[in-house]
Amino acid sequence: MRASARKSSIALLSALLAGSLGALGARAVETNNPDLVNRKVLRVCSTPENLPYSNEKLEGFENRIAAIVAEELKLPVEYTWFPQAPGMIRKTLAAKRCDVILQTVQADEFTLNTNAYYRTTYALVYKKGSGLDGLRSFFDDRLKDKRVGIQAGVPAADQVAKAGLMPKAKPYLLQVDTRFFNPMKDMVADVRSGEIDVAVLWGPFAGYYAHQGGDDLTVAPILEEVPGTPKLDYRMTMGVRAGEVAWKHQLNDIIKKRQGDIDKVLLDYGVPLLDEDRHLITAARQ
């Protein structure tokens, strides 16, 4: 993948996670400007139909994490809903309609980021007992004659291509309005129906949708690093407006204090969690 295409894929990943179109690499500059945070309510920017992250019924893990933050602040939560689309940050956070986005890629250039409150990676989803048990890599010989589902343009696509799996791969859309289309859910359904043998999904989607229809699927986080391809794991942060340093530090204090509760929420939703040594976290940290 060319450098320009790689930057584009990472920007799209950020959009997929929270509707923000940040590219990795540049940090927002911290200043001493006074913040404009509403101190009477926790105003959260979020997407209205994007499980497992959030929805208007407050069924996502972002909704539960927002409730944890609000509990610490002793404030009610108020949402500003905006579809997963370009311009989310400009029309919500930057427009001062809300004060925090709960999903941004660390070092997003359009926001000031908190400390990471979790780290996750892409994962493989396949049927148990299908001859793929123990699969952890695209370079496993058992995949040579298999059909892989992949969203075009995501970082994992480079490894799929390098492993020679693209000729038989089934492409799925990446940047969509999840109120109307859900390619992540469709990919997992296609694994169950036999349309594809393996789905390659961003970890939170893999864990959530694989467990929606029973325990017949395996979710295998991809931990292998392949030289010459983009990394597949990312640290996730909360995002605030550039310059609102005091607000960022307040959120950092809450993350540190409630990390165990946040971990439990994420694990309940099947999110593959990694520690700083890229080992899987299987129980909430204390």
How do the domains of the chain map onto residue ranges?
3-118+232-274, 119-221
Evaluated on CA atoms 29, 90, 10, 19, the torsion sign reads positive
Confidence of residue 88 (pLDDT cuts 50, 70, 90): confident
Find the mean pLDDT for residues 209-228.
Answer: 94
Percent over 70 (pLDDT), the chain: 87
Domains 3-118+232-274 and 119-221 agree in fold: yes
Own/partner pairs for 7-12, CB < 8 Å, 24+ apart?
8/153, 9/153, 9/154, 9/155, 9/157, 9/230, 10/105, 10/155, 10/230, 12/153, 12/154, 12/174, 12/175
Q: Which fold has domain 119-221?
A: D-Maltodextrin-Binding Protein; domain 2 (3.40.190)
Q: How far apart are CA 75 and CA 149, in angstroms?
A: 43
219, β-bridge pairs = 125
DSSP helix/strand/coil, 212: coil
Distance CA 116, CA 255 (A): 9
Mean pLDDT across the chain, nearest whole number? Answer: 88
pTM of the model: 0.86
Q: Note the pLDDT of residue 36.
A: 81
- Judged by phi (left if over 0) then psi (alpha if -120 to 50, else beta), residue 6 lies in alpha
Query: In this structure, which topology does domain 3-118+232-274 adopt according to CATH?
Result: D-Maltodextrin-Binding Protein; domain 2 (3.40.190)
State the average pLDDT over residues 70-99. Answer: 92
**Is pLDDT at 199 greater than 50 in this prediction?**
yes
- With a CB cutoff of 8 Å and minimum separation 6, the contacts of 22 are 11, 14, 89, 104, 105, 107, 108, 109, 110, 111
